[in-house]
Amino acid sequence: MKIVTPDEMAVMDKQTINSGIADYELMERAGTRCYEIIASELTETQKILVLCGAGNNGGDGQVIARLLHNCGYSVSVLFVGKAEHFSPNALQNYKRLTDIGAVCDFYTRFDAKTQASLDHANVIVDAVFGNGLRDRPLRESVAALFDAVNARSDKRVYAIDMPSGLRGDTGQTVGAAIRADKTLVIQNYKTGHLLGDGPDLSGEQILVDVGISERHCDSTKFLLDAQSVPELLPRKKNSHKYDYGALSVIAGSQGMVGAGLMAATASLRAGAGLVTSWVPREVYGIAAGQMPWEIMVRPYDVESFFQELRKRQTDAYVVGPGLGRQTFHSELIKTLIARQKPMVIDADGLYHLSKIMNVLEEGAHAPLILTPHAGEFARLCNTTSDAVRRDPIGLGTQFVSAYQVVLVLKGHHTLIFEPGAAGTGGVRVWFNTTGNAGMATAGSGDVLAGIIGGLVAQMPTPADAAKLGVYLHGLAGDLAAAEKGMVALTATDVLAQLPAAIRQLQQEDQEK
């Protein structure tokens, strides 16, 4: 499924209308489908308040209100906007509402009458702004209404397409926004549903199919789910460990041994045939004593490290978790990039990469998978974390187009940026659908870097390794949260569930 911006959704709407379906008919479809979902969850005695704006989202809300009224529900409509500002379709629906005697009123300021309307309702339907909201402050009276809705936790709130006050493109709020229990998403997820505050304000997101085709939409943003995630290739019976990759994990340092331990173990659990963990000599005893028996642990000194690395067969690298910030490591990463072997760079490795970005600017380089959070990515882009949070898709696309790397930008819906052919642009962005807030814990990123590293030699491309690795990491986190709960979840809990996640995904692949 494609993920779209509000502008791309508007193109889809237009193309569908051009194909012969009237825009009023689309509104009727959207309102009817939403009505069916809402009505299926109502009791006969519940009272419904529908908040409608003057645009087409308000028109959807009016269709819902009319159908509820015709079926005998106690429903009232509060218009947040003036009748003279109604869109043509909203105006047509307003006439139909008044013709059947529906209770309608217009909101101008928050007063005792408005408070009584909210108190009287059991269910609130939010159809004020929709997905096209721009970055300008709300009127004080509108913000007061939204705050009052949010203050009534005993009300069930449905948002139509997008919680009002939430931008459909960035997922940022414009000062105040309604917090929905359920958001009925019209046809396709908008970027604002999945970015920023979108996931928290939307509640449960339910897709509503109204027959709008995405065939003419040129969006290169996609949902990464069980149907679209790359399959892990089956193992041949006649194979050996080197068929599944010899991986070197350069991670861990004084005080951060656990980071290297988790990354290396995750690589092994993800199916790498041979994993070697490289650690500074001063922590070798600690690391070797804790590392799984199957992982080879090698100590290194700054003076001899390059020579030692050349002695080992290595198909790919994971560099960075708990590495530390010695100047030597910047030169190490520069040397490894020159070897033209796939490499996952995470954590402190990204810090060192930011010091030698000219290596990427010089053209062809090793296949790289970078796994930053917002702050680390901001350093790579020479910008701020706030700038990344405001426009992760734009900045990520520019970065990947310029440097031809695979970018895994970590977050609630981790984004995987997949480059097109060099010089052609065409960056594809994947929104991951697995994972939970319990994974916002120390070590989670180390496990992710290790999983992706373990998959690099097993997948057709580094981008496929990144997509599968992110999806499995989140799925393992979901399995761990189901067992431990999100508050008590640790990175090692996620690691422990990785085999179950792989098994579950393989079973789902067989059932496709």
Residues with Cβ within 8 Å of 31's Cβ and at least 6 positions away in sequence, in order, are 59, 60, 61, 62, 63, 64, 66, 67
Tell me the three-class secondary structure of 63-109, residue by residue. HHHHHHHHCCCEEEEEECCCHHHCCHHHHHHHHHHHHCCCEEEECCC
Separation in Å, CA 419 to CA 135, 377, 431, 495: 30, 17, 15, 29
Reported as type and span, the H/E element at residue 316 is: strand 316-319
414 is in an annotated binding site: yes
What phi, psi does 51 have (nearest 5°)?
Answer: -95, 120
Task: Report the distance separating Cα 91 and Cα 99, nearest Å.
Answer: 12
Structure tokens, 475: 């799925």
Check: CB of residue 263 under 8 Å from CB of residue 251: yes
Q: Is 248 helix (H, G, I), strand (E, B) or coil?
A: strand
Helix 392-403 vs helix 374-381: crossing angle, to nearest 10: 50
Specify whether the CB–CB gap between 53 and 127 falls below 8 A.
yes
| Distance, CA of 206 to CA of 32 (rounded, Å) | 15
Which two structure tokens, joined as six digits, stand for 174? 């414009």
* Sole residue written with tokens 């068929």: 243
Same fold for the pair 6-219 and 246-470:
no
The one-letter code for the residue type at 186 is I
Instruction: Answer yes or no: are the C-beta atoms of 118 and 124 closer than 8 Å.
Output: yes
On the 0-12 / 13-18 / 19+ scale of CB atoms within 10 A, 310 is exposed
Going from N- to C-terminal start, the domains of the chain cover 6-219, 246-470
157, amino acid identity? V
Closest CA to 463 of 435, 489, 429, 496: 429
7 is in an annotated binding site: no
Does 60 show up as a binding residue in the annotation? yes
* Eight-state DSSP code of residue 241: G
Q: How do beta strands 406-409 and 415-418 pair?
A: antiparallel
pLDDT of residue 421: 61
Is 57 annotated as belonging to a binding site?
Answer: yes
Beta-bridge mates of residue 371: none
Residue 446 is assigned to a ligand binding site: yes
Homologous superfamily (CATH) of 246-470 is Ribokinase (3.40.1190.20)
Q: Is 181 annotated as a binding residue?
A: no
Q: Is 425 annotated as a binding residue?
A: no
Q: Is 485 annotated as a binding residue?
A: no
Q: For the chain, what is the radius of gyration of the CA atoms?
A: 26
Distance CA 479, CA 460 (A): 27
| pLDDT at res. 422 | 54
Query: Is 329 labeled as ligand-binding?
Result: no
State residue 216's pLDDT score.
79
Name residues whose C-beta falls within 8 Å of residue 162's C-beta, 6 or more positions apart in sequence: 57, 129, 130, 131, 133, 168, 183, 185, 190, 192, 193, 202
The two three-digit tokens of residue 155, written as one number: 């009300």
Look at residues 209, 214, 191 and name the one whose alpha carbon lies nearest to residue 132: 191
Residue environment code for 214-251, b if the CB has 16+ CB neighbours within 10 A, otherwise e? beebebbbbbbeeeebbebeeeeeeeeeeebbbbbbbb
pLDDT at 133: 87
In angstroms, the CA 347 to CA 445 distance is 8
3 state SS of 334: helix
Strand extents, DSSP E, 419-462: 428-432
> Could you tell me the pTM of the whole model?
0.95
The widest CA-to-CA distance across the chain, in whole angstroms, is: 86
Checking 82-86 for CB contacts under 8 A at 24+ apart, the result is 82/54, 82/106, 83/54, 85/54, 86/54, 86/58
Number of Cα atoms under 13 Å in the Cβ half of residue 25: 10
126 is in an annotated binding site: yes
Per-residue pLDDT of the chain (512 residues; tens, 9 = 90+): 999 999 999 999 999 999 889 999 999 999 999 999 999 999 999 999 999 999 999 999 999 999 999 999 999 999 998 889 999 999 999 999 999 999 999 999 999 999 999 999 999 999 999 898 887 889 999 999 999 999 988 999 999 999 999 999 999 999 899 999 999 999 999 999 999 999 999 999 999 999 998 887 889 999 999 999 999 988 999 999 999 999 999 999 999 999 999 999 999 999 999 999 999 999 999 999 999 999 999 999 988 888 888 888 899 999 999 999 988 899 999 999 999 999 999 999 999 999 999 999 887 789 999 999 999 999 999 999 999 999 999 999 999 999 999 999 999 999 999 998 655 568 999 999 999 999 999 999 999 999 999 999 899 999 999 999 999 999 999 999 999 999 999 999 999 999 999 999 999 988 87
Q: Is 412 annotated as a binding residue?
A: yes
pLDDT at 511: 82
Report whether 320 belongs to an annotated binding site: no
Top-level class of domain 6-219: alpha beta
Q: Is 252 annotated as a binding residue?
A: no
**Distance of alpha carbon 149 from its chain centroid, rounded?**
27
Task: Return the SS3 of 162.
Answer: coil
